[in-house]
Amino acid sequence: GWKDAINTTIINFNNENMQITWAAREFFPNENVSFSYTFDEGKHKVWKTCTTYLLDQDYNSGCLFKTEGPTLAISIRNSNGSEELFSKKLKSDFYIKPNRPENVTFFWKEDTVTISCNKPERAVRCLRLELQYKSKFDKDWQSRTSRCCSVGEQGFDPRKCYSFRVRLRRLVPYCNVVNYSSDWEAETFWMNGTLLDSCDEDIPSQSNTVMVLSFSLAVLLMMFILLILLCKCQRVQLSVMPTIPDPKCLFADLFNDHNGNFQEWLDKTDHVVLQTKLEYEEPEPITEAESRQEVGKNSDKQGPLEKIFTFSGTAENNEHKAAQTSCLIPASNTMASFAGFHILMNDDMYVTL
């Protein structure tokens, strides 16, 4: 019974070559066993000795030989072959490991990709084509399985680069007792239907895009900060060094109509200034008798109407009136006289004669 407990690994490579291994150091310590096999059925079997051994620390631990039929019998004996240490009969077809898929093609249509390969010559109904893919942003592979030998999947983002790999699998338990799959076909890289050498190719372009955007944002931020600083500097400059008003704004008619001829301007504007002063003149207190006299004069319609103006002779009234008419003649601390005409001036005004 202990003979049946020996663990062996049996692989039938695409129904072409057999590989059988055992744990030599565990089950046969310090003994170099021999291996023989036969594909014959019935009583008259012809046993063949292994010609290609697999070694484990110089001890025989497996055998490679050609597949010659669906039924296989194996035997493990001691070094001189006098005692059988292990034997087993099996169906070699239940241990098939398929070869890699051949001539793999990719067909892209918008966000859908279809992968196909050549059909193997044997046992196509027992095979399934497995597809695995992932983008560079995914940690794990996504798997899809379909009947041999075509598999399709949709939902691919054209802006992402994807890695693809395919392999063939044997159905368990209908065709195999062990879940064997072929080795993976060479990994390929695709982006929007274009074959690439690697998904690392689009990393520099994305890095450049990020750098350009970052630089643009930095420039905009610097411009905004400079604009704020410029506004603050202008405010500081105005508070420290106030601007001198242009006399052309205060005496526009002097420069525009009289070409800066001050005497001519005085002659033309004398009555205007006088009338402006009179309009802003505060009326002096009128007594009751004067009021009655004024009413009597108004009732008399025979003589021409005359307008009586009164002037205040005090300096305080003049300063008060000048303050009221500041929109025309600015308030000042200095009185300038030209040709008998008085002009109030402030510190920011100047007149060229």
- Write down which residue in 196, 228, 256 finishes a domain: 196
Query: Which residues, listed in sequence order, are joined to residue 73 by a DSSP beta bridge?
Result: 38, 89
In this predicted structure, what is the pLDDT of residue 53?
A: 92
Question: Do 114 and 180 share a domain, yes or no?
Answer: yes
Report, as an integer, the average pLDDT of 208-218: 82
Mean pLDDT of the chain: 76
Work out the pLDDT band at 347, boundaries 50, 70, 90. Answer: low
**6-27 confidence digits (pLDDT tens):** 788 999 999 999 999 998 888 8
Q: Pick the more confident residue, 206 or 121.
A: 121
- Domain contains 155: yes
Q: Measured between alpha carbons, how far is 245 from 55 in angstroms, rounded to an integer? A: 106
Q: Pick the more confident residue, 76 or 314.
A: 76
In this predicted structure, what is the pLDDT of residue 334?
A: 60
- Tell me: pLDDT of 277 over 80: no
- Tell me: pLDDT of 201 over 90: no
CATH number at residue 150: 2.60.40.10
- Domain contains 186: yes
Q: Measured between alpha carbons, how far is 240 from 232 in angstroms, rounded to an integer? A: 12
Question: Do 181 and 115 share a domain, yes or no?
Answer: yes
**163-181 confidence digits (pLDDT tens):** 999 999 999 988 999 999 9
- Domain contains 69: yes
- Domain contains 111: yes
- Write down which residue in 173, 196, 219 finishes a domain: 196
Low-confidence winner among 90-99, 229-238, 327-336 (lowest mean pLDDT): 327-336
Question: Do 185 and 120 share a domain, yes or no?
Answer: yes
- Domain contains 303: no
**42-91 confidence digits (pLDDT tens):** 778 899 999 999 998 888 999 999 999 999 999 999 888 888 888 889 99
In this predicted structure, what is the pLDDT of residue 302?
A: 43
- Tell me: pLDDT of 33 over 60: yes
Question: Is the bond leading into 173 cis (omega within 30 degrees of zero)?
Answer: yes
Question: Do 84 and 121 share a domain, yes or no?
Answer: no
As given in the structure block, the two tokens for residue 180 are 């064997």
Low-confidence winner among 130-144, 234-248, 254-268 (lowest mean pLDDT): 234-248
To the question of pTM greater than 0.85 for the whole model, the response is no
- Domain contains 255: no
Work out the pLDDT band at 198, boundaries 50, 70, 90. Answer: confident
- Domain contains 310: no
- Write down which residue in 68, 97, 126 finishes a domain: 97
Question: Do 184 and 136 share a domain, yes or no?
Answer: yes
Question: Do 137 and 70 share a domain, yes or no?
Answer: no
Rounded to 5°, angle at Cα 114 from 109 and 120? 150
Beta-carbon neighbour count of residue 22 at 10 Å?
24
Report, as an integer, the average pLDDT of 293-309: 45
As given in the structure block, the two tokens for residue 74 are 């194996």
- Tell me: pLDDT of 279 over 90: no
- Domain contains 73: yes
The total of structural domains in the chain comes to 3
What's the domain range around 232? 204-237
Question: Do 134 and 162 share a domain, yes or no?
Answer: yes
Cβ contact 45:78 at 8 Å: no
